Amino acid sequence: MRGLSLENRALLERFRLGKRVGLARAISLVENQAPGFETFLHYALSQRSFARRVGVTGPPGAGKSSLVAALSRALREQGEEVGVVAVDPSSPFSGGALLGDRIRMNELATDPGIFIRSMATRGSVGGLASTTREVLDLMDAFGFAWVLVETVGVGQTELEITKAADTVVVVLVPESGDAIQAMKAGLMEIADIFVVNKADRPGADRLIRDVQLALHLKEGEALRDVPAHHGVDLRRLGKAKAHEPADEGGEGGREARRDWKVPVLKTVANTGEGVRELLAAILEHRRYLEDSGTLEERRRKRAQDRVRDVVEREVRRRVWGSPQLQRILRQGVEEILAGRDTPYSLAEALVERILAPEFRDSQEGDGGHDGEQPA
């Protein structure tokens, strides 16, 4: 690893001392991919991660921010420290989203035990840029016991949240459509806990039944197992079986899903109704993750994904940042346009060039992207 610049070293010091401005500046460094950010992360994240990471996703306006705020309050009442990341909120977490809840939100915002950060996705396909995951890591390393992340999910974009969170809470509302839509959107695959929010609105109980039915169908269970009553069924929460080994998880699949009974809870986020039960379910899921070895598995997968992300980012940076390759690309494109070459042979030539030792040598001494002096 390269050394840290003097400036970033000072920042690291503040970060490690638990100074909030240190965290805020560290997040900006990472978000902007400013010089030396990867080196900074290397030092800042060198400890093991302990935070409980909870992702809250769902359609726009479902009440995700309200729920995250209510959960944060509940956690703060228990003396827990909470970091919150709101990704690309259509209504900013600190502003419009919580207009009806301003006073309590302000309380949260001035509470030193909670740190809230909104960030843009910058058009990343997954809706959750790799920098977002790095920001979550920073919050974890900073020492928050809980890190909550809110992402707006429409369609497939929220699937990425499974890469960032240990527990995924999917929020639906009566007006967001039926359970079939949720199934189509892949929400059944990613939800560890379903929440039907705005339970004060008509149609909530129906949606709960539909989601439960869909879950049962998915699990291939008999219809007679559908609970006769609606709402929170706390009996279902404790039924995680730990004896089946976690399967290795296919592409994007969540491991050992069949061992966890996905609860369907009901909340009214802006009054706090049902939030206690939601927190209980999150803790229950946490216990399941730990007891079944799934947490370890997810962390292993997460570390692997992270390395891949960073390698890809670094390779892209070096390759497309190389004037030499840019030159070959420009010339090659002319050949393609003239009908003398194809993108495939040009790409192959470029890859061979990249893998040649001369390319590596030419990269040395260009100082890398962070322009830092080795310590």
Ligand X SMILES: Nc1nc2c(ncn2[C@@H]2O[C@H](COP(=O)(O)OP(=O)(O)OP(=O)(O)O)[C@@H](O)[C@H]2O)c(=O)[nH]1
The residue ranges that bind Mg ion (CB under 5 A) are 64-65, 89, 97
Closer to ligand X by CB, 107 or 219: give it. 107
Q: Cβ of 333: how many Cβ atoms within 10 Å?
A: 13
- Name the binder of 326 from ligand X, Mg ion, none, CB < 5-8 A by kind: none
The Cα 289–Cα 274 span in angstroms is 23
Tokens of 197: 């929010």
Site string for ligand X, 124-153 (x = CB under 6 A): ----------------------------x-
Residue 181 backbone phi and psi in degrees, to 5: -60, -40
CB of 171 to ligand X, least distance (A): 7
* 155 contacts ligand X (rule: CB under 6 A): no
CB of 287 to ligand X, least distance (A): 27
* Interactions with ligand X, residue window 11-30 (CB under 6 A): none
Tokens of 23: 């965290």
Where does residue 93 rank: exposed (0-12), middle (13-18), buried (19+ CB within 10 A)? buried
Give the contacts of 102 (CB within 8 A, at least 6 positions apart). none
Closer to ligand X by CB, 93 or 260: give it. 93
User: In this structure, are residues 137 and 119 in contact, taking their beta carbons and an 8 Å threshold?
Assistant: no
The Cα 196–Cα 174 span in angstroms is 7
231-244: buried (b, 16+ CB within 10 Å) or exposed (e) per residue? Answer: bbeeebbeebeeee
Closer to Mg ion by CB, 101 or 370: give it. 101
* 118 contacts ligand X (rule: CB under 6 A): no
Tokens of 106: 């302000």
Which listed range, 73-81, 88-96, 255-263, 320-328, lies at the site for ligand X (CB under 6 A)?
88-96
CB of 86 to ligand X, least distance (A): 7
Residue 287 is classified by DSSP as: H
Quick one: which of 61, 143, 249, 272 contacts ligand X (CB under 6 A)?
A: 61
Site string for ligand X, 183-202 (x = CB under 6 A): --------------xx-xx-
Of 50, 49, 94, the residue nearest 68 (C-alpha):
94
CB of 65 to Mg ion, least distance (A): 3
- Name the binder of 200 from ligand X, Mg ion, none, CB < 5-8 A by kind: ligand X
Closer to ligand X by CB, 184 or 201: give it. 201
Binding site for ligand X (CB under 6 A): 60-66, 89-91, 97, 100, 152, 197-198, 200-201, 268-270
